[in-house]
Structure 1
Amino acid sequence: MSEHRLSPVPVLTRSHSGLPGGEKAHALDEAIPEESLMKDTTDTPQKPAAGRFAWLQFDMTKTEWDILLASTCLKLLLFPAYRSTDFEVHRNWLAITHTLPISKWYYDTTSEWTLDYPPFFAYFEKLLSIPAYWLDPKIVDLNNLNYGAWSVIAYQRTTVILTELVLGAADRKLASGFLFAVLLNFKHIYLYLAPAYFVYLLRSYCLSPTFALLPGRFLSLANAVILVFLASLGPFLLMGQLPQLLSRLFPFTRGLNHAYWAPNVWALVTALDRILLRVAFQTVYMGKLWTNTSYKSFVTALTLCGFTSYMFGWHVHEKAILLVLVPLSLLATEDNAYFRTFTIASIAGIYSLFPLLFTPAETLIKVIYSTLWALFVLKPIHRQVYQFPRGVLAVIVDVMERLYLAGFPLLHLLVTFFPLVARRRSQALSNPAAGDVEGGASAMEFLPLMMTSVYCAVGLVWAFIRLSVIYIGWKD
């Protein structure tokens, strides 16, 4: 069946942003086309090669290549910088997949960093372990725990940079469905975004504008996704190891509730979290996406899907905020409402990651880099889309948001110097004869982290509410 383009869905417009002030919207493309998204004609990309695999070609402008090269050079300069335990985690996974047969990958407990990513990532680690062995056999020695030679650092940082080149590939709807299925089998955290992808592809690709099923497209997409999951999970299904695999991917243990939900406050909290909040919010967003599958609607719904899971999920890692900030950045230049939402979410989200880079050597780097990013990214967009708020309520909201953003430098000074002051005060009040030197300081050790988490949470919750109001307030 020929893949002719569906009739475009009318672009979303709205009389107001849903927030006080009624910022004017600039239209994005009405829908993601089957071909690569059109680029600015003033910076023409290289013409992609024709043929069956044309969608795999890089479709980047000269400016985008310059940005890619500049960012790569910066990453190379940061090779000697701080590295987290993730380096040992992935080194151990290289060793597991290189040393052990596939039947033992998800059972090995030689290290505390057991393999807990989906099979495609394990296969990828297996592939990377081959040149790693040629470079330095100690990298893939299963019993060589906490190996931190320069060969490990250089190899792992280099492979990250090289694999990021996939971001330059162009998309089509069928290809995007296939690639998202592949992505899920690399890292299951992207399940947060799956509802938006499912609704979008079903409505815009598999159904006609009159909601009639297009069998050829539906079967093409379904077969592509099924083949991906069979390639990923098939070997473990044949070995009868699917339960063990799932227990590694989703290590649910006893949480707030017992196996039987005792009828107490925590039962109500869990029900509210699981049903009324996450399911209810995502149902509203997916209903909105179903009625309008424009590019702008899809990206907003995708962002809100990730945002909802981040807001109400269990065991959420700080880095998961990147699942929100990356798609939200695609909307930042739309209008003032989107830009202000992106500004609040990005500053709060990025600052919430600062405690992960806690060594003195990285302190100056993260502050300078973040400041330069704000100057060269946020400031130009602000000049382009800013509109003075209309109405008293809009002015009040605008002032409160500005005051909140202005508080981050003060917060940083506080969390930087408070531990020093607390330590000196503790030493002055301590009793060396009794061996009490760090008692007072250790009691306040987590106060800076708590202040960072609470202050950033205020901004992220407000950004979530703001984006929800903007999206729900759209009028077709």
Structure 2
Amino acid sequence: MGEIPCILSIGAILIAFKCLLIPSYTSTDFEVHRNWMAVTWNRPLKAWYTESTSEWTLDYPPFFAYFEWALAYVAHTIGFDECLQISKTPIMSSRILVFQRLSVIATDIFYIAICALYAFKSPRLVAGIPKKMRKNAQEACFILLACLQALLICDSIHFQYNSMLTAFFILSMYFIDSGRFLLAALTFSILLNFKHIYVYYALGYVFFYLVNYFEFSAAKFLNNFPKAITLAISLLLPFAFSIFPFFHVAGVEGLQNIATRLFPVSRGLTHAFWAPNFWALYNFADLILYRILSILKIGKFEAPTYTSGLVQEYSHSVLPNVNPIGTLCLVVIASVIVLTGLVIRWRKGKDPIFNFERIFRKTYSRPVDFSLFAIFSALSFFYFGYHVHEKAIILITVPMTILAIKDPKYHRHLIHLSCIASFSLFPLLFTPFEILLKYAICVAYFFIQLTFLKRYTRMPLGDLLPWRHIASWVVLAIVEIYNTFLHKWLLSDRLPFAPLMVISVLTSIELTGFFGSLIWTTFADGIIEISWQKATCRLREQLIRDMTYSVQTVEDEQDVQIVAGVDTSASSSNPDMVYVSVSFWKYPDLQHLATISDTRILRLPYIPQYLAVREAEVVADFVRSVIAERPELRPDVILCDGFGQFHSRSCGMACHVGALTGIPSIGIAKNLALHDVYETVGIDKRAKVDQFVDSCREIFKSNKSVPGFIPFDIVEPVKLNILRMGGSMSGVFVSAGYGIDLDLATTISAKTLLNNTTCEPIRAADLESRRLVRENFDGNRDKIE
């Protein structure tokens, strides 16, 4: 599907579906926005933020007030004046319902257009993605953003204008990806003047601009002053247009009225239904402590009021009370810690001040994407913020969707976050018709998301849907069904808030796990992750060694009919995305049968001497999938570019691949890294190794005939044989992998050296994977790994 047909078809389907939702449930937000239209239309500008006839007073920044005035003007022009009455009690009619629904749908067109602009025109969205996958990636980004279930529930059913506001944020991200930082700042400032909750992103912008917009080298430091001035103008200009009219008509008092409405502190720590963040867990812990201490009759505590379902200030029973300043401090501390980590991750290896290469063992070839800064900033505010509404989770899901498209290792995080968002938003819709509707929308979006992400990268379902995530969704589904269909018949009189509290606590636990998992994945090249992966790898290697030495799958050369060579290649622009190739050949006549390749995502970091941690499972999974589709190609032996049992831990890459596939394997390496050999045989035998290597070179140099191979007999038992390649001074180094002994492995390897020069199955797989990288990545930027 082309860009225009995709945009038009998806847009038409969404608009048609939203029109069908016009008669659905009406929340209090209908009256809120209707009253705001009435206030802005009937009252003078200086009274907008003081009018209080209705309890739903205007509490959004001035740009949104101007937007409400514009809607009021349209309503008056087309004869919908019943929308514009100031009333102490709510006003609702079918005409008001239609007008307000259509106003949301009209702004949704703007949102869909911005999603299309970002998905199909952002230069960084597909920068590190193979060419053949870029179209799928762009379509996935557009569809997942345009059809976001959280926006559909909050805007088209519950009723708000979040899509329009989100469009400004996505437009700002588009400008950042395009390198137009001043326009990005201007757009974000406009957004803040529409709805101040988007301050959640502010620290992310600050840290991102510090490392991407300003220059701190001595030679260019003075360039920062004009940059800072132009940036300040871009940020302050929308504020000037926003608040100057109020200052002009009411002076400082007009600004004070706006500030009082925008930042009320009388709403309490948590909303009526607790958002899934730290304070839900805090409230729950306080409630449990209160119940336990009351039963034990230890002390006297006031009964908690935060389970009343009302928006109000309250005190905790046992735990210390929490005020807005305390939550702000936690937000800033959490944000600064994770955002500083992103800065260090981006700067290391590029500036001596931030060079942590000896600790982290990896240098990134590209900057950290802005979406990560936005996610961690919004997540910190959402997790520790004061009076957070559950709908604010949209601020995390939008940049998370974009990040997952840019970097597929975050796919599982996106799916999990989307499910958490769905469950946390379900209580917003509670009437009978909307119950089935909200379930249908969220389940449909889950499968749309899963389908397009899998279509984009073809990752295994196990990577996208970990069993722990599935188990948590099942538990949440059980609680949700109980809350919706059973609780009102059983315990609603005694414990009306109980199931909502359980949903809130469970989703809070899941969001906490998401937060931790996101940090773990983002900073996965740290010391803790490396230590953990090393320990896991060593445990698996012990199991493989036990199987390898006790299981002999292939004992005779006559049992070998097909051999396969495997190899991978990656681009320097995105080293976590690789092409895996497997080449199948008849044995022993080396008739080529097929070479099959595909892309895979490497989710774990590279660790020296632990290559299998990063690649073995990916390669083995690909081989299994190929054999499942074409069983006639199932090889009797797999040839791997690397070592097998000749390894510092007697379990190299070939052993892992063989054990994971259940197919005998052989390691054939082109080079013998001496420092690895010293570690394998022991430092005390270093001189013997050097002497052995020199003698091999002399033999090859003199062109003396070598009967078969040269065994590496420095240590017993022998685990490595050296096969000469043609008339060169080099050789290939053969070691048995899984389910085969060294003699048979050497015999088979010798017969795969086509023209006595190179192992043809491995060479074919290597050439194919390299060709695909050259063709599918930008050749002027990418270097084959």
TM > 0.5 fold call: yes
TM-score normalised by the chain length of structure 1: 0.74
Which amino acid in 2 is paired with 1:376? I
* % identity of equivalent residues: 31
Give the Cα separation in 2 of the matches to 1:332 and 1:219.
Answer: 34
Contact 1:336 1:385 in 2 (8 A): no
Q: Please tell me the root mean square deviation across aligned C-alpha atoms, in Å.
A: 3.1
Q: Which residue of 2 aligns with 1:48?
A: none
State how far apart, in whole Å, the 2-side matches of 1:266 and 1:144 are. Answer: 38
1:318-333 equivalence runs, <5 A = 318-333=390-405
- The match for 1:281 among 330, 334, 340 is 334
Corresponding residue for 1:99?
42
* 1:349 Cα deviation from its structure 2 partner: 1.3
The answer on whether the counterparts of 2:214 and 2:227 sit within 8 Å (CA) in structure 1 is yes
In structure 1, what is the equivalent of residue 477 of structure 2?
409
Residue 393 of structure 1: aligned partner: none
C-alpha distance in 2, partners of 1:459/1:209? 42
Say which of 369, 379, 382 aligns to 2:441: 369
Distance 2:266 2:483 in 1: 34
State which of 383, 387, 411 in structure 2 corresponds to 1:339: 411
Q: Which of residues 447, 450, 457 is equivalent to 2:498?
A: 447
Per-residue CA shift, 1:180-236, capped at 9, x if unaligned?
Answer: 100000000000111112232343234378763345543333212211111111123
1:268-291: CA deviation from partner (whole Å, max 9, x where unpaired): 99887443x422221123224445
Q: Who is 2:238 aligned against? A: 228
Match among 378, 401, 404 for residue 450 of structure 2? 378
Q: What CA distance in whole angstroms lies between the structure 1 residues aligned with 2:20 and 2:324?
A: 46
Deviation at 1:444, TM superposition (A): 2.1
Aligned-pair CA distance for 1:453? 1.1
- Contact kept, 8 Å, 2:59 with 2:261, in 1: the verdict is yes
User: Could you tell me how far apart the structure 2 residues matched to 1:154 and 1:388 are?
Assistant: 42
Aligned-pair CA distance for 1:403: 1.5
Residue 420 of structure 1 deviates from its aligned partner by 4.5
Give the deviation of 1:386 after TM superposition. 3.4
- Partner-residue secondary structure (3-state), 2:26: coil
Distance in 2 between the 1:217 and 1:160 partners?
38
> In structure 2, what residue type is equivalent to 1:454?
V
Structure 1, unpaired ranges of 5+: 1-41, 46-60, 257-263, 391-396, 423-439
- Cα distance in 1, alignment partners of residues 488 and 31 from structure 2: 31
Report the CA distance shift for 1:220/1:334 in structure 2 as closer, same or farther (over 3 A). Answer: closer
Matched AA of 2:84: V
Residues 1:106 and 1:295: Cα distance change in structure 2 (over 3 Å)? farther
Among 240, 247, 253, which residue is 1:237 paired with? Answer: 247
SS in 1 for 2:92: coil
How far apart, CA to CA, are the structure 1 residues paired with 2:268 and 2:22?
Answer: 39
Q: For residue 127 of structure 1, what is the aligned residue in structure 2? A: 70
User: Cα gap change, 1:93/1:267 in structure 2, threshold over 3 Å: closer, same or farther?
Assistant: closer
| CA distance in 2: counterparts of 1:353 and 1:91, whole angstroms | 23
Bigger Rg, structure 1 or 2: 2
Partner residue of 2:513?
462
Greater share of strand: 2
Q: Distance in 2 between matches of 1:403 and 1:265?
A: 31
- Structure 1 residue 149, shift from structure 2 partner: 1.4
Q: Comparing 165-174 with 91-100, which one deviates more in the overlay?
A: 165-174
Corresponding position of 2:468: 400
In the TM superposition, residue 148 of structure 1 has moved relative to its aligned partner by 1.1
More displaced 10-residue stretch of structure 1: 328-337 or 74-83: 328-337
Matches within 5 A, 1:21-420: 43=2, 61-134=4-77, 135-143=79-87, 145-167=89-111, 168-169=113-114, 170=117, 171-172=174-175, 173-207=181-215, 212=221, 213-238=223-248, 239=250, 240=252, 241-253=254-266, 266=320, 273-275=327-329, 277-291=330-344, 292=346, 297-334=369-406, 337-382=409-454, 384=457, 386=459, 398-420=466-488
Aligned partners of 1:342 and 1:463 also within 8 Å: no
Q: Per the alignment, in what secondary structure is the counterpart of residue 381 of structure 2? A: helix
In structure 2, relative to structure 1, the CA distance for the partners of 1:281 and 1:142 (3 Å cut) is same
Query: C-alpha distance in 2, partners of 1:85/1:254?
Result: 17
Aligned residues of 1:334 and 1:385 also touching (Cα < 8 A): no
Structure 2 residue matching 1:332: 3-state secondary structure: helix
Given the superposition, is the C-alpha separation of residues 468 and 115 from structure 1 closer, same or farther in structure 2, using an over 3 Å criterion? same
Which secondary structure does the structure 2 equivalent of 1:112 belong to? coil
Q: Which amino acid aligns with 1:402?
A: I
- Over 3 Å counting, the alpha-carbon distance change for 1:420 and 1:252 in structure 2 is closer
Give the Cα–Cα distance (whole angstroms) in 2 for the partners of residues 197 and 66 of structure 1.
34
Q: Give the deviation of 1:442 after TM superposition.
A: 1.5
Residues 417-436 of structure 1 correspond to what in structure 2 (within 5 A)? 417-422=485-490
| Structure 1 residue aligned with 2:586 | none
CA distance in 2, matches of 1:152, 1:141: 11
Who is 2:278 aligned against?
Answer: none
Amino acid at match of 1:285: V
Alignment-mate amino acid for residue 112 of structure 1: E
- Taking structure 1 as reference, are residues 158 and 400 closer, same or farther at Cα in structure 2, changes over 3 Å only? same
Once residues 217 and 14 of structure 2 are traced to their aligned partners in structure 1, the CA distance between those partners, rounded to angstroms, is 42
Displacement after TM superposition at 1:418 (Å):
2.3
Q: How many residues align?
A: 390
Amino acid at match of 1:99: N
Quote the Cα distance in structure 2 between the aligned partners of 1:75 and 1:66.
14
Contact 1:418 1:448 in 2 (8 A): no
- Code of the residue aligned with 1:201 in structure 2: it is Y
Deviation at 1:295, TM superposition (A): 7.2
